[in-house]
A and B are shown apart, each in its own frame.
Chain A
């Protein structure tokens, strides 16, 4: 408990960096002592959007591999969709399932823990995009390593973070992550379904409106 007391004196802006290397202690205290900053978490998410844009349009020419990158036309909505929106859906799905599974985490905590956990991936990703401008394609393997490190680090943080936030055991965390993925798919399906239906309802009323308009107005 002494340790917790010591670190509780740490600024909440310095705290995410402490979590990077001490995830178990860090996330525990994040929950117990409310040591989190919503602003910092959203800043990381903003950086993630930035990474999405950079990775699409601003990788140096010899590192562009997908047709999307070679085309070079960045679609900001698609970037938002694949970053922040997916993140939000995942948080909601995780909260839904973990509430049912005796999880102790609140939505806010899940959001912040998830964002903090993404920090290595996002920062290393931006570094990677920057490095493509100085490296040649023969050295691409180092950038791949960098990416792998970022992804693995973030995945580990997500795992530990969820475990601590919900006060779960390891296997239960894995189960909850699996269920969360299923939940994301269900939500995505519902979104597609609802938007499809909404379009049809809209077009139905629009047709009626135009019919009346052409007849009587």
Chain B
């Protein structure tokens, strides 16, 4: 078994912004040539050394739709977007107190603007998260009212979940009940992210009982924090109250895939290269994205820019798309968490965002909701993006031989694509072309894999040429010993002769 660990010992580089500017410049040129089709910013990705490297376009913004184009009236500060299992798009148009439903062809299907609970009209203006369950019920996280509304598509609220009574949920500053985002798994358990709560997601079962907290971020112990903890001991009460608290950062958002894994994003991290800004949580709530090669978000550049994730979407194939609210960039990872591309950007153009609020996928497309531009942008994969998807699906599924041609084409199209080299190396390895595999692993800076192929090659050569090597070594030793003896004897003779001469 050969591992393709890619231990990304990344570190911030000063060359980063320079590169990015170059990238952006190249992008503008390209955008001009393309007639301005949705690519204002160049795609890029990080290489092994943590440098931002321009890449081929994987996703291109094809169109955007605002409320007027859809014939439902302009959106007003929409807060969330959800694509249901039957490919219908639910837009939480909170400013207009309504939900707009589109079909898979981006045509308005329904506008739900009246919600009834026990005969009374309720407002959904404070709803910040929407989830549509497989049974067709909409789960609305009403942050303003501190409740979760469960409504059907006629606008009838069939259930209202407020703060559950439980000994597990003591009232304190970290256990607020201000639902921000909500999702439901196949067992009808509701997961809810509450504003200002650092305890992780709240789990509430179908009967409304509180089951416990699910996943949570942890405070990483760094030298700085150890130092601050030490200083805290000597600080006065007043000084202490002004010091930074050691509270983990809350999850910003989450999504659930078909197998029940929950993907979470965290807005802020001091060290995106080592912190888990994106997590894939198993049913126990522990993170399974733990390999050292993961790198979430952009490399930090001083205090000027930090990736600020606001939403994450996972498609049917397991590819994840994380949305950065600050820069408007979308970070694309494959189903093993390898960074494949970074696209999007901030601006007023097609394919750039002012206040990106939510992201989801529909078929192969990526939809991004902007709450200031009041529209949804549709990204479609390019030929290159499709190729990446197919190649890595085959690769991660173990079909290495089948993925070889795809990887060869990827490498041809984008020669700086580390992961493609690693994939190609693996495919070559499985085909028995070990020499080639070694070189591709070198190109992909996969040291571990390179080393293992080298070991296999060595063992194969040893096996094939065992007799030759064995007798070669024997002969070599013999020759060396004899030669050393002869030379030694000669030198001693000469020395003796010299001494004799001197004595005479």
Residue A11 CB within 8 A of the other chain: yes
Q: Quick one: which of B436-476 are within 8 Å of A by CB?
A: 442, 445, 447-448, 450-452, 454-455, 458
Q: Which of A11, A62, A134 has the most CB of B within 10 A?
A: A62
B49 touches A62 (CB 8 A): no
Residue B499 CB within 8 A of the other chain: yes
Neighbouring A residues of B450 by C-beta, 8 Å = 61-62
Neighbouring A residues of B452 by C-beta, 8 Å = 136
Q: Quick one: which of A124-139 are within 8 Å of B by CB?
A: 134, 136-138
Neighbouring B residues of A60 by C-beta, 8 Å = 454
The chain B residue with its CB closest to the CB of A67 is B49
Neighbouring B residues of A61 by C-beta, 8 Å = 442, 447, 450
B458 touches A134 (CB 8 A): yes
A208 to chain B, nearest CB (A): 36
Cα-based distance from A61 to B451 in the complex (angstroms) = 8
Cα-based distance from A136 to B454 in the complex (angstroms) = 7
Cα-based distance from A10 to B448 in the complex (angstroms) = 49
Residue B495 CB within 8 A of the other chain: yes
Neighbouring B residues of A70 by C-beta, 8 Å = 49, 445
The chain B residue with its CB closest to the CB of A14 is B491
Cα-based distance from A136 to B450 in the complex (angstroms) = 9
B442 touches A9 (CB 8 A): no
Cα-based distance from A64 to B7 in the complex (angstroms) = 13
Task: Decide yes or no: A62 and B447 within 8 Å by CB, A9-B495, A67-B49 being known contacts.
Answer: yes
Cα-based distance from A134 to B442 in the complex (angstroms) = 16
Interface of B is mostly: helix
Cα-based distance from A70 to B442 in the complex (angstroms) = 10
A137 touches B448 (CB 8 A): yes
Cα-based distance from A138 to B451 in the complex (angstroms) = 8
Cα-based distance from A60 to B438 in the complex (angstroms) = 12
B491 touches A11 (CB 8 A): yes
Task: Decide yes or no: A62 and B495 within 8 Å by CB, A134-B458, A136-B458 being known contacts.
Answer: no
B491 touches A62 (CB 8 A): no
The chain B residue with its CB closest to the CB of A133 is B454
Task: Decide yes or no: A137 and B447 within 8 Å by CB, A60-B454, A61-B442, A67-B49 being known contacts.
Answer: yes
Chain A 122-164 per-residue mask, 1 if CB under 8 angstroms from chain B, else 0: 0000000000001011100000000000000000000000000
The chain A residue with its CB closest to the CB of B455 is A136
**Contacts across chains A and B counted by CB atoms under 8 Å:** 31
B455 touches A138 (CB 8 A): yes
The chain A residue with its CB closest to the CB of B442 is A61
A136 touches B491 (CB 8 A): no
Neighbouring B residues of A136 by C-beta, 8 Å = 451-452, 454-455, 458
Chain B 407-438 per-residue mask, 1 if CB under 8 angstroms from chain A, else 0: 00000000000000000000000000000000
Neighbouring A residues of B458 by C-beta, 8 Å = 134, 136
Neighbouring A residues of B491 by C-beta, 8 Å = 11, 14
Cα-based distance from A137 to B455 in the complex (angstroms) = 9
A9 touches B499 (CB 8 A): yes
A78 to chain B, nearest CB (A): 20
Chain B 210-248 per-residue mask, 1 if CB under 8 angstroms from chain A, else 0: 000000000000000000000000000000000000000
Cα-based distance from A137 to B441 in the complex (angstroms) = 14
Neighbouring B residues of A67 by C-beta, 8 Å = 49
Cα-based distance from A18 to B367 in the complex (angstroms) = 77
B454 touches A11 (CB 8 A): no
Q: Quick one: which of A51-95 are within 8 Å of B by CB?
A: 60-62, 64, 67, 70
Cα-based distance from A137 to B451 in the complex (angstroms) = 6
Cα-based distance from A11 to B495 in the complex (angstroms) = 7
Cα-based distance from A10 to B494 in the complex (angstroms) = 11
Neighbouring A residues of B448 by C-beta, 8 Å = 62, 137
Neighbouring B residues of A64 by C-beta, 8 Å = 447
Chain B 284-306 per-residue mask, 1 if CB under 8 angstroms from chain A, else 0: 00000000000000000000000
Cα-based distance from A64 to B49 in the complex (angstroms) = 13
Neighbouring A residues of B495 by C-beta, 8 Å = 9-11
Chain B 16-41 per-residue mask, 1 if CB under 8 angstroms from chain A, else 0: 00000000000000000000000000
Neighbouring A residues of B455 by C-beta, 8 Å = 136, 138
Neighbouring B residues of A14 by C-beta, 8 Å = 491
Q: Quick one: which of A1-53 are within 8 Å of B by CB?
A: 9-11, 14
A162 to chain B, nearest CB (A): 29
Cα-based distance from A117 to B496 in the complex (angstroms) = 28
Neighbouring B residues of A138 by C-beta, 8 Å = 451, 455
Neighbouring A residues of B499 by C-beta, 8 Å = 9
B417 to chain A, nearest CB (A): 18
Neighbouring B residues of A10 by C-beta, 8 Å = 495
B468 to chain A, nearest CB (A): 16
Neighbouring B residues of A11 by C-beta, 8 Å = 491, 495
Cα-based distance from A10 to B488 in the complex (angstroms) = 11
The chain B residue with its CB closest to the CB of A140 is B451
The chain B residue with its CB closest to the CB of A13 is B491
Cα-based distance from A164 to B75 in the complex (angstroms) = 90
Cα-based distance from A138 to B458 in the complex (angstroms) = 14
B415 to chain A, nearest CB (A): 18
A141 to chain B, nearest CB (A): 13
Neighbouring A residues of B49 by C-beta, 8 Å = 67, 70
Neighbouring B residues of A134 by C-beta, 8 Å = 458
Q: Quick one: which of A152-199 are within 8 Å of B by CB?
A: none
Cα-based distance from A129 to B157 in the complex (angstroms) = 73
A134 to chain B, nearest CB (A): 6
Neighbouring A residues of B447 by C-beta, 8 Å = 61-62, 64, 137
The chain A residue with its CB closest to the CB of B458 is A134
The chain A residue with its CB closest to the CB of B491 is A11
A142 to chain B, nearest CB (A): 14
Cα-based distance from A14 to B492 in the complex (angstroms) = 11
Cα-based distance from A60 to B457 in the complex (angstroms) = 14
Cα-based distance from A60 to B452 in the complex (angstroms) = 13
Cα-based distance from A11 to B488 in the complex (angstroms) = 10
Cα-based distance from A76 to B447 in the complex (angstroms) = 26
- Report 20 cross-chain contacts, Cβ distance below 8 Å, ordered by A residue: A9-B495, A9-B496, A10-B495, A60-B454, A61-B442, A61-B447, A61-B450, A62-B447, A62-B448, A62-B450, A62-B454, A64-B447, A70-B445, A136-B452, A136-B454, A136-B455, A136-B458, A137-B447, A137-B451, A138-B451
Closest 3 CB pairs of A and B: A62-B451, A136-B455, A137-B451
- Please report A residues at the B interface, Cβ cutoff 8 Å: 9-11, 14, 60-62, 64, 67, 70, 134, 136-138
9 more contacts with CB within 8 A, not counting A62-B450, A136-B455, are A9-B495, A9-B499, A14-B491, A70-B49, A134-B458, A136-B451, A136-B452, A137-B451, A138-B455
